[in-house]
Structure formats: C-alpha cells, structure tokens
C-alpha cells in the first residue's frame, strides 16, 4: 500500500496505459480520478471511464470519472478542481493523454499538427499548471508519458517527437522550479499494446508488451518521496530494474513465447543499451 490514501489524477484514463495506471495505483491504496474526452462506449475503442471507475471501486478505493477535452483550458482547470473537491487533495498528476500522427514534415496537415501539439505538450502544460498549487501543499509528483531526448529519431516523426519531447522539457522545468514537487518522464523500451499501436499497425503481440509495464513503473515513481527524488527521463525497464529490482519482464509479454525487442521507432536515449 505504498500510495495509501494518496490521490492520483490520470488523463487519458479510459483505456490502455491510463486505465492500467489507475488500477495499479488503486491496488497500492490510492484514490484515483480518471479523465478522458469521451464517456460513451465506442466499438472501435474498448474501455470507458465508467468501467475504470467500477474496477477501482471494486478494489475498495475512491474513484472519479471526469469528462475532459484536455485541449481546452477551462475543462482542464475544472478537471483539477473537481478532483480536489471530491478527495480534498491532489498528490500526483499523470499526463498520459496523447495524440499520435506520423509523416514527413512536408506532408503534415496543419490540423494534425495542432491536434498533436494540443493533446500532447499543451495539455500537459495546462494540467500541470492547474495542479501545481495543490501538489505543493504536501509534496507531489508530475509524471509525463514522454521520452528521453533523441534527435536521431526525428525523421518522419518530427512534429510528433517535438510535442512529446516538449512534455519532457516541461517536466525538467517543473522539477527545477518546484521545491516540493518532483516531475519526471516515463517511456517504454518496447512498444506497448494499446488502441493506437493496434490501429496504426505497429507490429503484433510478439512485438508488444502489456500496458501494465508502464503502470508498474508509474507506481514505483509515484511511491518515492517527491522531496528526495529529482527529474529523470526514465525508460520503463530502467525504473523496474533500478527501483524495484525486477529483471525478468516475461510477465509483461503479450505473446508469452516472444520477448519484444526495442521499438523500431527509437524515441530513446541513443546511448542506452539493453543489459
């Protein structure tokens, strides 16, 4: 129960990584607020906020679903306010909501550029800014689902990569500016099976891990004393190895017979090597 009675707010919380993080935090004793743009079921996108809330409550923890389009300042500020009004505090913000689109720079539609930047870096800025006054009260965490910086990965993905690296830079700034708030970034080594990786055809089960690897890494980071931790752009494997002592990652395979390799889209530190 490393997060007992802490309150965690997770954007993009209706499915995939966000839902897995919500359940992992609840198992460790946290109350959870989950936010997403839609609340109605969609046959193309399994999972809803209501289902996540029901699963968290079944674990004996408090849960709150908040319909939020993170591109809009008023909705993001209301999201934070509703969380604090319900639970009386806020201990961690997980900026997980994301939009993905790839293509050479000259082929990017402006609307796609605005969407990716709005849902990724701008939304992370809005949510973090709104959460900071509450996180300062007892000390808290901001976690960005964003990568270490690797400029070599930019070809064919530059605007997307810039938006994600922007989230990492925001985390570094917050960590340096806030005495009681620790801000960090987290990114998977192998691709994680989500609606996005499935719909974009980014491999198959043999190439994917389950979202629980990021969820477990999230708990490990949020469980640390924010006043004793400092910024780092983590890879999930490094979190589990260094903080949890976990080296056998077989439990996270989507295909039990295959250990996934690093993502072909290498949004990771170019000096990092699998050990």
Q: Which residues are catalytic?
A: 160
Checking DSSP bridges between strand 191-192 and strand 208-209, what pairing results, if any? parallel
C-alpha dist (Å) from residue 70 to 74, 146, 170, 199: 9, 16, 16, 22
Query: Which tokens is 255 given?
Result: 């295909």
What span, in angstroms and rounded, lies between the C-alpha atoms of 12 and 97?
A: 4
Query: Which tokens is 193 given?
Result: 């099976």
What span, in angstroms and rounded, lies between the C-alpha atoms of 26 and 9?
A: 11
What span, in angstroms and rounded, lies between the C-alpha atoms of 154 and 102?
A: 10
What span, in angstroms and rounded, lies between the C-alpha atoms of 166 and 157?
A: 14
Find residue 253's DSSP bridge partners: 209
- 221: nearest Cα among 59, 3, 22: 3
Q: How does 186-203 read in b/e, with b if 16+ C-beta sit within 10 Å?
A: bbbbbbbbbebbeeeebb
Task: Kindly state the helix (H) or strand (E) to which residue 22 belongs, with its residue range.
Answer: helix 16-27
Q: How does 245-271 read in b/e, with b if 16+ C-beta sit within 10 Å?
A: ebeebeebbbeeeeebebbeeebbeee
């Amino acid at each position: 129960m490393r997060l007992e009675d802490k309150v965690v707010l997770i954007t993009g919380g209706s499915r995939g990584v966000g839902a897995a993080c919500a359940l992992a935090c609840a198992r460790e004793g946290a109350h959870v607020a989950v936010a997403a743009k839609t609340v109605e079921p969609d046959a193309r996108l399994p999972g809803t906020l209501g289902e996540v809330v029901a699963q968290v409550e079944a674990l004996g923890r408090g849960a709150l679903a908040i319909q939020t389009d993170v591109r809009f300042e008023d909705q993001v500020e209301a999201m934070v306010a509703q969380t604090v009004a319900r639970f009386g505090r806020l201990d961690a913000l997980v900026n997980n909501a994301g939009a993905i689109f790839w293509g050479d720079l000259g082929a990017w539609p402006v609307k796609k550029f605005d969407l990716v930047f709005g849902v990724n870096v701008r939304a992370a800025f809005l949510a973090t800014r709104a959460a900071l006054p509450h996180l300062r009260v007892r000390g808290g965490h901001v976690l960005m689902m964003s990568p270490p910086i690797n400029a070599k990965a930019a070809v064919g993905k530059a605007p997307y990569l810039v938006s994600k690296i922007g989230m990492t830079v925001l985390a570094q700034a917050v960590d340096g500016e806030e005495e009681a708030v620790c801000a960090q970034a987290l990114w998977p080594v192998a691709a994680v099976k989500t609606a996005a990786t499935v719909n974009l055809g980014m491999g198959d089960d043999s190439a994917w891990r389950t979202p629980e690897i990021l969820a477990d890494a999230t708990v490990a980071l949020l469980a640390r004393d924010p006043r004793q931790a400092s910024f780092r752009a983590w890879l999930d494997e490094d979190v589990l190895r260094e903080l949890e002592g976990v080296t056998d990652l077989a439990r996270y395979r989507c295909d039990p017979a295959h250990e996934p390799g690093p993502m072909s889209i290498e949004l990771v530190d170019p000096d990092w090597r699998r050990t």
